[in-house]
Amino acid sequence: MSGKSQSGLEKTLGKKEMLILSFGAMIGWGWIILTGDWVQDGGPIGAVTAFLIGGFVVCIVAVIYSELASSMPLVGGEHVYSLRALGPIGSFVCTWAIIFGYVTVAAFEAVALPSAMAFIVPGFNTFPLWSVAGEPVYATWILVGVLGTVGVTYLNYIGIKIAAQFQIIMTLVIAFAGVVLIAGAVTSGQPSPDSSFGAGTAGILAVVLMTPFMFVGFDVIPQSAEEADIPPRTLGLLILLSVGMAALFYIAVIWGSSRALPGAELVESPLPAAEAMAVLYDSQTIGQIMALAGVAGILTSWNAFIIGGSRALFALSESGMLPEFLSKVHPEYNTPSNAILLVGGLSVLAPFFGEQMLTWIVNAGGLGIVVAWFLVVVSFLVLRYREPEMERPYKVPAGLFVGVVAFITTAIFIFLYLPGGQSALLWPYEWLIVLGWCVLGIVLYLLSGDSEVETAEEVAEKVSALKDD
């Protein structure tokens, strides 16, 4: 039975809504445009292998989230776990890092939507205004990006239940397109002429490096845990199920596309997955179904990350680490309205920087995501050591071993983003985005003034009160 959470948020999300929020967050726009690269670099079997490896790595992190989410089903996810384990400073760094990841994904979608329209609508790129890094910025891009941001932000502002229902509809569109692609691959596809493992180990590793960020979004479940009207153990299991569903979807798209065209031809298309659909059914119109599924993917990911980012901002504010106005709950809609407006306001800036912004914000935001994952894993290990008797409705088997493996894996991914790493951020653009976010965090933290910062003991008391309800 739904009601109000301790924070005043509305407990309206059931198992179906939570699962689809998470799955829809992971299935964004990337698979539509990157399928060709995956098949060309890794080969059909190699790319599938890479996603099995990447899915396994993400599952290790997700299973840790599952235990923590079931133990502390409070709004804010990472914020709650790191506050209880690492204290206020560690919690602020962890939560601000994951908010950075969420905001950059929301900003990515604000650019991806006009990018998709440019692929679908002939002559869309009109009225060039200025250039950024040599790429023209069109008035049509800004108009569509801004209108899309306003629409998705408003949808979240007026209630999470409405946002979740929208997520279900868009996810069904994506699932339908995936089923049509697989059906075409089975009935009309041919075995790929490409080498099964593409460029060998190097090619497979290149695909593996992309996979963790294709799975970002499962942590929307713990972010909105306090709005879920389901048992804590079920909350943890839904995280694992959503990651498994996303892995199956990506593998199906790779396999289906590889049976339509060789990797070299897929890469030449601006929309490889849509081109594969068109070839399998010998119809450009059918191919547009996949393109529309990509637009649906943009909207599901966008929607979910505004939910996740706003809840994390709300939690930090409620704990006294950000200005108090960010923890305001709308009296009618029961949503963290000001936090939602801040995420929407930040992401609306992205279309003004044009298509080049797609790469910059994804790479910069990726660093924030892996830093947050790393600190969640550290929190898991600290709590297992310091609070072995803490109630854990879902408990990770071989927890110490899993935690150590996750610690090493996430640390490696952080290293890849640093100078000298394989995915090192670009100076000055990407590092300036990171530094700008750090400065914004410091400013907002200082603006929180004399607010009393929540302690680990108070988190424990909140969890205890939640279980007594």
> Considering its fold, how many domains does the chain have in total?
1
In the chain, what percentage of residues exceed pLDDT 90? 22
Q: What six digits make up the tokens of 261? A: 């065209």
CA distances from 86 to 279, 302, 355, 382 (A): 53, 30, 39, 8
Give the mean model confidence (pLDDT) for residues 91-114: 88
Q: Is-contact 238 221, C-beta < 8 A?
A: yes
Q: Look at 42-46, 74-78, 99-103, 135-139 and tell me which has the smallest mean pLDDT.
A: 74-78
Task: Say yes or no to pLDDT of 217 above 90.
Answer: no
Highest mean pLDDT among 78-92, 231-245, 408-422: 78-92
- For residues 145 and 196, which has the higher predicted lDDT (pLDDT)? 145
pLDDT band at 207 (very low <50, low <70, confident <90, very high): confident
Residue 253 identity = V
Is the torsion defined by CA of 393, 397, 398, 404 positive or negative? negative
Q: What angle do CA 411, 416, 420 make, to 5 degrees?
A: 125
Q: What six digits make up the tokens of 172? A: 């069904």
- For residues 17 and 388, which has the higher predicted lDDT (pLDDT)? 388
b/e code 439-461 from CB counts within 10 Å (16+ = b): eebeebbeebeebebbebeebee
Q: What is the pLDDT of residue 378?
A: 96
Task: Say yes or no to pLDDT of 139 above 90.
Answer: yes
- For residues 144 and 203, which has the higher predicted lDDT (pLDDT)? 144
- For residues 355 and 185, which has the higher predicted lDDT (pLDDT)? 185
Task: Say yes or no to pLDDT of 466 above 60.
Answer: no
pLDDT band at 380 (very low <50, low <70, confident <90, very high): very high
Q: Is-contact 51 250, C-beta < 8 A?
A: yes
Q: Look at 37-51, 197-211, 268-282, 379-393 and tell me which has the smallest mean pLDDT.
A: 197-211
Q: What angle do CA 248, 299, 428 make, to 5 degrees?
A: 95
pLDDT band at 5 (very low <50, low <70, confident <90, very high): very low
Cα distance from N-terminal residue to C-terminal residue, the chain? 13
Q: What is the pLDDT of residue 48?
A: 93
Q: Look at 48-57, 147-156, 254-263, 298-307 and tell me which has the smallest mean pLDDT.
A: 298-307
pLDDT in tens, 10-24: 667 778 888 888 888
| Domain membership of residue 343 as a residue range | 3-468
- Report the chain's C-alpha Rg in angstroms: 21
Half-sphere exposure in the Cβ direction for 9 (13 Å, CA): 30
pTM of the model: 0.83
Q: What is the CATH number of the domain that holds 287?
A: 1.20.1740.10
Give the mean model confidence (pLDDT) for residues 97-124: 85
Task: Say yes or no to pLDDT of 395 above 80.
Answer: yes
Task: Say yes or no to pLDDT of 1 above 50.
Answer: no
Half-sphere exposure in the Cβ direction for 160 (13 Å, CA): 35
